[in-house]
Structures are given as C-alpha cells and as structure tokens.
Amino acid sequence: MNEHDSGWSAEEDDPELPGVKRRKQDQSDDFSILSYSRSHLHRRCKLVIQDTGRCFFDIQRELSKSLQPRRSVLPKLPPEIWIKIFSYITSGRQYPFMIRAPLVCKQWYNLCLSPCLWTTVRVPYGGYYWMSRTDDFLIWLAKHRLAPCKEIDLTGWDITSRGIKVLTENCPKLQVINVSYCTKLSKDVAAYFTANCPYITTLDFSHTCNDLVSVIPMTMIIECYNAQLLSLNLSGNLMHGFHRVIDAIC
C-alpha cells in the first residue's frame, strides 16, 4: 500500500515542523542531517527514512557525532614559544588568564609557573577577580605565585597589614609597590617593607591613611632605602611634621 492508497502524507503528519519540508521529485538526493535534531529523528523516523533511503540508526549515529562537543587540539609548540605567547597575553595584566590557563592541561599548568610570567603583577579594574582582591587572595598569590615578582600594583585592594606582611615575606625581590587607595593599612607596613624587601626603588602610598603616612614610618623608609629610592608618592594624605621627613632626606 503506497502513500496515496493509505491517505497518509508527510505534510499532514508533520504540522509542527515548519523548518522541515518534504522533498520534491526533482530535488537532488543531498540531505542535511543537521536539519533534524535528535527529537525530530525519534518522532519522524518514517519521514527520514523515506527522504534519504538510509538506515535510521546510521543517521542518528552521524547526528550524535556532529552534536558532540569538539575538543580543539593544542598545537605542539616548544615551551619557549608558549611562554612568549603567555607573556604577550598577560602584558599589563595577569587575570583572568593566569588563573584559568592552568586548568586547560598539565602542560599549561607547568608553563604558568614560569617565573618570567610573574615578575609584574596587575589586576585590572572590574570583573570577578577585582571583587576578590582581599587579604586571602593576596596571601595565596604570595605563597604560590609571587616569589619572582618585582613589581606589583595593589591599587584599591581591600587589604590590611596582614596581607602585606605575607607578601613581603614571600617576595624579597620586590622593587616597585603600589598600595594607593588601600585605606586599611597601618604603620606596620613600613616595617615589613624595610625588613623583608631590600631592593625597593618605588613606593606609592597615595590616598592611603594618615597612620601609614606619618613621620616615623616615612623616616624609617627613607633612612633604609636612602639613595636607591627613586619615587615616593604620598599625595592625598594629611601629614604632620613633614619637615622631619625632609631632614631625613637631607
């Protein structure tokens, strides 16, 4: 019994599939499997077989393969090339790339530990990692990533002297430090710098707090670093007895 004898037609049996049209007699035998989803194939098995003349299960197998997520194969490059690529990506900012990249594969995990990728550390304004700029995050970075760090920008971080203490203890190579707008720091920060970081040349204490930018901490810093200190930014703070700091410089 054919289609006309039984009174059945694909057009009448398939009203809910506006994107699937019956093949005309003069159409080619080409058939796009991707025009059907899995549910379409299950519900319209007769239609698919009639249109293509192929086994339903073969079509379903091909469709399943096409719908599977494809893993891109990483190119086989020397580690030096990968390091160059990572350095270009992270120039000016490490995040979020340096946090997500180690999760890709073991090779990338090991590459992200390269010291040359952590000599300069900045977290750009905005985003998830900007919201996580706390003592705990800084302490984790200091203990696990920042040993080779020479320059770090902590502008606006919600940190206290506890985070700075761990940072200076684990990063003795620090030369440039920016803690501007870190308003919860105390005068103990100056003692942490002078005790643990002998190579400091640039300090930015702008818009911090009067306790940190006072005569005793600043005199301690100036006397410790002396001629090697190239820049000391104290703008945006109220300071009493500034003449004593000038005397220490002279």
Q: What are the pLDDT digits (tens) for 203-222?
A: 999 998 888 888 888 888 88
Please report which confidence band the pLDDT of residue 30 belongs to, taking 50, 70 and 90 as the band edges. Answer: very low
In-domain check, residue 187: yes
**Using one digit for the tens of pLDDT, what is the confidence trace for 104-113?**
888 888 888 8
In-domain check, residue 94: no
Kindly report the CATH number assigned to the domain that includes residue 151.
Answer: 3.80.10.10
CA proximity to 122, closest of 133, 114, 112: 133
**Angle between helices 45-52 and 56-67 in degrees, nearest 10:** 100
CB count within 10 Å of CB 190 equals 25
Q: What is the pLDDT of residue 189?
A: 92
In-domain check, residue 93: no
Within this chain, do residues 245 and 126 fall inside the same structural domain, yes or no?
yes
- Out of 67, 85, 103, a domain closes at 67
pTM: 0.63
In-domain check, residue 100: no
Within this chain, do residues 134 and 237 fall inside the same structural domain, yes or no?
yes
> CA-CA distance, 60 to 50, in Å (whole number)?
15
In-domain check, residue 33: yes
Within this chain, do residues 63 and 123 fall inside the same structural domain, yes or no?
no
Q: What is the pLDDT of residue 246?
A: 67
**H helix intervals, 21-150:** 38-43, 45-52, 56-67, 79-89, 97-100, 106-111, 128-131, 135-144
What range does the domain containing 205 cover?
118-249
**Using one digit for the tens of pLDDT, what is the confidence trace for 124-158?**
655 555 667 888 988 988 998 888 999 999 988 88
Within this chain, do residues 130 and 57 fall inside the same structural domain, yes or no?
no
Q: What is the pLDDT of residue 98?
A: 77
CB 71 within 8 A of CB 82: no
In-domain check, residue 111: no
In-domain check, residue 23: yes
In-domain check, residue 12: yes
- Out of 51, 67, 83, a domain closes at 67
CB 203 within 8 A of CB 221: yes
> How many structural domains comprise the chain?
2
